[in-house]
Amino acid sequence: MSRSDPQDTKAGVSVDATQPTDELAKSCDQVFNMPLASKAIFWPARHPVASPLLNKLPFLFWLMETVRPRKVMQIGLGDGLIYMALCQAAERLGGQTFCLGIDPGDSPLPTDLQSPHDAQYGDISILLKGLPAGGSKLIRDADVLVLNSHLDEELSRIILESWLPKLSKHAIVLVCEPAHVFGSQDLRRVLLDEAGHPVLTGTTSPGGEFLDVILYGDDQPERLRRLASADDVSSLHMVARQVFGRLGQGIEDAQQIAVIKAETADRDHQIKTLQDQFEQCKSDLLTARSQISLLQQSLESERTRTKTGISSELKHNAQWQKNSDVTARMTEIEKSQISAKTTHADSQGELEVLRRQKAELEAEHAARIEDVAVLMQQHEIQLNDLQRSHQQELKAIQHKHAEIQSEVVALREEKAALQGQYNEMVKGFHDSTSWRITKPLRSLKLSLNR
């Protein structure tokens, strides 16, 4: 696959062709009995969600790289965090792992889980609703069984009688949030209490109280057995808790930063919406002013037309007076006067209507101006509040970033100190009398081997 790293899937640990060999990490494994040399713990989470299990993903990636399962089966999908992380690890490890996720509930799978799953992992994973009829066949030779749902008596019985006996000899069982999962004490007793399987459980384990690991099969990787057999207060357990804890906290911090960025973008969108509304109000105000101007022009035009008509009628009456028939001319003049009066009255009526319209428009204009002033004041208040909130959140993010940088510097100093101790130990060993005395024996053994 294009997204996966080039790896040797037959080796005990992954070999990344894009990075130098990790001889120093392997030496640390042997000298300090610290089975943590891994590049998987630094994988970024592709599908983070707010969950108490989010900071356990580096430990989960390390388990997948250590076990290198051929088949993974999970009961209960929950928010999809754990299953999508398992699919991501399977793909990063070369895509040779088959994953099966079963949701025993009745509700349909959420689209925000189904869609990205099918798009990215459809070739190595299947999601099922409800328990399949051939569930015991599907579980056969599974290397990882994940329990991530409340198990009632019936489902616990099926797992206990039909599924657990069919797991492979390399199998491990992961229990997410054990206090929620175990509905049957029989299943808990078989997995944790009576069978004597090596386990990584409890608040002092790398998974804390949210992720129990049971080494169910008899054939387990050496570095996983070392971690499970180490004492809770051993340096190995302390280093494991520190490494996985800090890397997990980094994933949680990245998720919180992403959420803050999304909220900031949403607030920026709200500010943009308010600005658009303000611009629309300004545009409406300009339109109202333009309409008032057009009405004023129409009123002046009507006045000019009325004056022109009266002047024309007066001139016409003067010409009629020159005619010989004085009576006819007077009659016509009277009729013209009556017509002029009627036209004048009509014009006066139209003028009154236009004056009322102008008054109404002026009142509406004043109301619009008041609305715009209120909107501008509200916008300014909201903008100031959002800016203050954004500045506070930005300071919090910068403070958190500084803390993370400090932790990174501390880890680098701790690594340098361990490297120095290791170099001194190796040098002391090489300078020891026993090493020089046994040098001829080693040379002889090397010659015999050749």
Residues listed for the chain:
450
Residue with tokens 């501390």: 410
Over the chain, what is the mean pLDDT? 81
For the chain, the domain total comes to 2
Identify whether residues 131 and 265 lie together within a single domain: no
- Which pLDDT belongs to residue 331? 78
pLDDT 10s digits, 273-289: 888 888 888 888 888 88
Work out the percent of the chain whose per-residue pLDDT is above 90: 22
Q: Are residues 150 and 196 in the same domain?
A: yes
CATH number for the domain spanning 284: value is 1.10.287
pLDDT the model gives residue 450: 65
Q: Is the pLDDT of residue 21 over 50?
A: no
Q: Which of 63-72, 216-225, 309-318, 360-369 has the highest mean pLDDT?
A: 63-72
pLDDT digits (tens, 9 = 90+) for 338-348: 877 787 788 78
Is a pLDDT exceeding 80 seen at residue 52? yes
What gap in Å lies between CA 26 and CA 48, rounded to an integer? 31
What is the rounded CA–CA span in Å between residue 204 and residue 181?
20
> Which token pair is 337?
């006067």
Band (pLDDT 50/70/90 cuts) for residue 409 is confident
Q: Which of 299, 268, 257, 246 is nearest to 410 (CA)?
A: 246
Give me the pLDDT at residue 256, please. Answer: 85
* Interhelix angle 235-321/57-67, nearest 10 degrees: 120
163 falls within a domain: yes
Q: Are residues 216 and 261 in the same domain?
A: no
Same domain for 278 and 224 = no
How far, CA to CA in Å, does 328 sit from each of 19, 288, 342?
A: 119, 53, 21
Please report the pLDDT score of residue 34 as a whole number. Answer: 44
Query: Rounded CA gap, 158 and 153, in Å?
Result: 9
Residues 6+ apart with CB under 8 A from 127: 77, 101, 102, 103, 109, 113, 114, 117
> How much is the average pLDDT of 2-12?
38
- The CATH number of residue 173's host domain is 3.40.50.150
End residue of a domain, out of 190, 211, 230: 230
For residue 150, give both structure tokens: 């409340």
List the single range of 17-31, 129-143, 154-168, 271-285 with lowest mean pLDDT: 17-31
pLDDT tier for residue 320 given thresholds of 50, 70 and 90: low
DSSP reduced 3-state for 73: strand
Residue 6 has pLDDT above 70, yes or no: no
- Is the confidence at residue 4, as pLDDT, over 60? no
Under the banding of pLDDT at 50, 70 and 90, the label for residue 12 is very low
Residue 33 identity (one-letter amino acid):
N
Q: How far apart are CA 50 and CA 72, in angstroms?
A: 24
Using the predicted structure, report yes or no on whether residue 181 has a pLDDT greater than 80.
Answer: yes
Closest CA relative to residue 39, chosen from 52, 55, 50, 26: 26
Find all residues with CB under 8 Å of 447, minimum gap 6, and list them: none
Fill in the amino acid letter for 359. A
**Is pLDDT at 66 greater than 70 in this prediction?**
yes
Look at residue 13 and tell me if it is in a domain: no
Is 235 part of a structural domain of the chain?
A: no
Contacts of 177 (CB under 8 A, 6+ apart): 52, 53, 148, 210, 211
Output the pLDDT for position 44: 92
The residue-averaged pLDDT of 337-366 equals 82
Give the range of the structural domain holding residue 330, as residue numbers without chain letter: 257-423
Same domain as 148, residue 86 = yes
38 in the Ramachandran plot: left (φ > 0), alpha (ψ -120 to 50) or beta? Answer: beta
This prediction has a pTM of: 0.56
Q: What's the pLDDT tens digit per position in 103-132?
A: 987 778 888 889 999 999 999 999 998 887
Is residue 2 pLDDT above 50, yes or no? no
Distance CA(191)–CA(199), nearest Å, equals 9
Per-residue pLDDT band at 328 (split at 50, 70, 90): confident
pLDDT at 25: 43
Q: Is 165 exposed, middle or buried (0-12, 13-18, 19+ CB in 10 A)?
A: exposed
**What torsion do the CA atoms of 94, 97, 98, 104 make, to the nearest 10 degrees?**
-110
At 222 the three-state DSSP class reads helix
Pair (339, 302) in one structural domain: yes
- pLDDT in the model for residue 317: 61
Note whether 201 and 313 are same-domain residues.
Answer: no
Q: In sequence order, what are the beta bridge partners of 233?
A: none
Are residue 413 and residue 300 in the same domain, yes or no? Answer: yes
Q: Is residue 1 part of a domain?
A: no
- E strands, 84-179, in order: 98-103, 125-129, 144-147, 172-176
Per-residue pLDDT, 48: 92
**Whether residue 263 sits in one domain with residue 216:** no
Say whether both 224 and 125 belong to one domain: yes
Q: Does residue 26 surpass a pLDDT of 70?
A: no
User: What is the band of 146 on the pLDDT scale with cuts at 50, 70, 90?
Assistant: very high
Among 230, 246, 280, identify where a domain stops: 230
Looking at residue 324, its pLDDT comes to: 59
**Rounded-to-10 torsion of CA 331, 334, 335, 339:** 170
Whole-number pLDDT of residue 318: 61
Query: 27 pLDDT band (50/70/90 cuts)?
Result: very low
Instruction: Say yes or no to pLDDT of 92 above 90.
Output: yes
Task: Give the residue-averaged pLDDT of 379-401.
Answer: 83
Q: What is the DSSP letter of 148?
A: -
Instruction: Looking at the structure, tell me whether residues 212 and 341 fall in a common domain.
Output: no
Residue 411 within any structural domain of the chain:
yes
